């Protein structure tokens, strides 16, 4: 009797070959041999990583034409005409309706108060105020895993300042404005293929790391005699320096294998702008690049902006922008809503469906990247024509590695919208007993969706 020896397959296995005389390698997906017997964790017993991200669109949706509102929390979401693109993904979505936003006498800073309060749990005191860290920062700060980027921020409208995230009023990061800029930042010369067999630290990275270490060592001496306000500013500056040091540290270490990672093709140098046709193309490319960045473990927290709160999206060759139409376009008596506004809403939800599909199309473990992700999607208003803050549509997508039930329609019954943010934090393991301030403060997570 003879025996066939089957060599042990490692997670670093690559398919190797030649194309045009040059060596090529292709990373393998998470095969059964890389995982535990159930296919839901790594063979070492470590869980598959969970990612968190936000997706933002401006000017809300048209009430009664997007989602059938319900008077109780139930399984199953009934998407209507303006959200029909989401129907194929409805089993992975939770829709949160009828949550309110008490401002405790503060002004409604139109197209601003809505997104700030939803993402910080606190109403702003002015039209530029970010009174507390947004959800993405809370989650990134609680994430013990070291990744190359603490967060990745993107904007499909080509305007870097349009990025609805920040630690406070003075620390609002710029977003990547184009697919090419995103690719070069993530997959450019500083990218280390996590599945490449050999690894050699880049000497230039070593030099940059030593220079930053020198700056850090002098920081205490420098800030000793500064005033209070300057000390706060310098603390924020050196926090950024420390984050950059951590990124460089990671580039000096061999990255852990990530078999779902396949380096994407470099996008062409296209145009950026707020023409809808351009935005839709750029958004889809950036969604696919971002999903692969997450699969390659370059970040576990991200923010994607599809359109601004004061949306300047416009059809090619037309003068009226989306925001202007929400106020000036008359209602179509036959349809029951503003026809062109509805058209923009339909395209926006189509873009959201593309974003979801980018994560759903990448196999990871016994499921997909979407299964190991939680996407928080919100707008700035429920009905843009009237600048309404109550009932702002919020959705989450993905189960965060099985920590959240999906396919649910949650009836908020007028509770503060901060309950959604607290629920997200609890699902991702943050030790949050309560969240928000004043009438927005809550200690009540949405237990119906927590596993």
Q: pLDDT in tens for each of the 451 residues of the chain? A: 333 333 444 433 344 443 344 443 434 444 444 455 655 566 556 788 999 999 999 999 999 999 999 999 999 999 999 999 999 999 999 999 999 999 999 999 999 999 999 999 999 999 999 999 999 999 999 976 678 899 999 999 999 999 999 999 988 889 999 999 999 999 998 888 776 767 666 666 555 555 556 655 566 667 677 777 777 666 666 665 666 566 566 656 667 778 788 899 999 999 999 999 999 999 999 999 999 999 998 999 999 999 999 999 999 999 899 999 999 999 999 999 999 999 999 999 999 999 999 999 999 989 999 999 999 999 999 999 999 999 999 999 999 999 999 999 999 999 999 999 999 999 999 999 999 999 999 999 999 999 9
Structure token pair of residue 3: 């025996």
Kindly report the CA angle at 352 between 346 and 358, in degrees rounded to 5? Answer: 140
- Of 432, 437, 323, 417, the closest CA to residue 376 belongs to 417
Report helix, strand or coil for 324: helix
Q: How many CB atoms lie within 10 A of CB 120?
A: 27
What phi and psi, each to the nearest 5 degrees, are found at residue 409?
Answer: -105, 115
- Residue tagged 């939800």 (tokens): 349
- In CATH, the number for domain 50-191+260-440 is 3.40.720
Give the model's pLDDT for residue 109: 97
Q: Is 120 left (phi over 0), alpha (psi -120 to 50) or beta?
A: alpha
Pairwise CA distance, residues 388 & 111, whole Å:
9
Give the model's pLDDT for residue 236: 64
- Residue tagged 């009828």 (tokens): 98
Kindly report the CA angle at 165 between 133 and 47, in degrees rounded to 5? Answer: 80
Per-residue burial over 331-354, b = 16 or more CB atoms within 10 Å of its CB, e = otherwise: eeeeeebbebbbebbbbbbbbbbb
Give the model's pLDDT for residue 230: 75
- Of 214, 223, 207, 216, the closest CA to residue 243 belongs to 216
Give the model's pLDDT for residue 13: 39
Quote the pTM value.
0.82
């Amino acid at each position: 009797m003879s025996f066939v020896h089957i060599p042990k397959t490692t997670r670093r296995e690559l398919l190797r070959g030649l194309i045009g005389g040059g060596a090529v390698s292709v990373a393998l997906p998470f095969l059964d041999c890389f995982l535990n017997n159930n296919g839901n964790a790594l063979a070492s017993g470590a869980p598959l990583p969970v990612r968190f991200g936000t997706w933002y669109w401006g000017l809300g949706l048209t009430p009664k034409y997007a989602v059938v509102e319900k008077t109780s929390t139930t399984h199953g979401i009934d998407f209507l005409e303006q959200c029909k693109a989401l129907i194929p993904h409805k089993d992975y979505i939770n829709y949160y309706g009828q949550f309110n936003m008490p401002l405790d006498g503060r002004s409604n800073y139109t197209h601003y108060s809505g997104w700030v309060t939803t993402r910080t749990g606190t109403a702003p005191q002015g039209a530029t105020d970010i009174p507390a860290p947004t959800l993405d920062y809370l989650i990134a700060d609680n994430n013990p895993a070291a990744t190359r980027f603490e967060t990745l921020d993107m904007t499909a409208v080509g305007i870097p300042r349009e990025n609805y995230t920040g630690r406070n009023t003075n620390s609002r990061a710029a977003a990547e404005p184009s697919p090419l800029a995103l690719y070069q930042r993530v997959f450019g010369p500083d990218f280390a293929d996590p599945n490449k067999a050999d690894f050699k630290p880049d000497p230039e990275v070593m030099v940059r790391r030593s220079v930053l270490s020198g700056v850090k060592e002098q920081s205490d001496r420098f800030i000793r005699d500064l005033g209070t306000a300057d000390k706060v500013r310098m603390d924020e500056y050196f926090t950024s320096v420390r984050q950059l040091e951590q990124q460089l540290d990671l580039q000096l270490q061999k990255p852990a294998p990530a078999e779902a990672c396949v380096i994407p093709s470099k996008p062409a140098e296209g145009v950026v702008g707020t023409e809808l046709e351009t935005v839709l193309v750029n958004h889809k490319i950036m969604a696919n690049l971002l999903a692969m960045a997450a699969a390659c473990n370059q970040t576990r927290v991200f923010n994607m902006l599809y359109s601004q709160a004061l949306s300047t999206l416009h059809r090619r060759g037309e003068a009226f922008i989306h925001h202007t139409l929400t106020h000036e376009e008359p209602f179509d008596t036959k349809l029951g809503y503003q026809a062109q506004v509805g058209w923009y809403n339909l395209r926006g939800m189509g873009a959201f469906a593309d974003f979801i599909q980018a994560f759903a199309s990448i196999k990871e473990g016994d499921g997909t990247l979407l299964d190991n992700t939680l996407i928080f999607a919100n707008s700035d208003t429920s009905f843009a024509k009237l600048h309404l803050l109550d009932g702002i549509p919020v959705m989450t997508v993905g189960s965060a590695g099985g920590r959240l039930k999906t396919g649910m329609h949650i009836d908020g019954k007028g509770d503060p919208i901060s309950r959604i943010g607290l629920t997200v934090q609890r699902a991702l393991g943050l030790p949050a007993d309560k969240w928000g301030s004043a009438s927005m403060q809550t200690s009540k997570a949405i237990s119906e969706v927590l596993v």
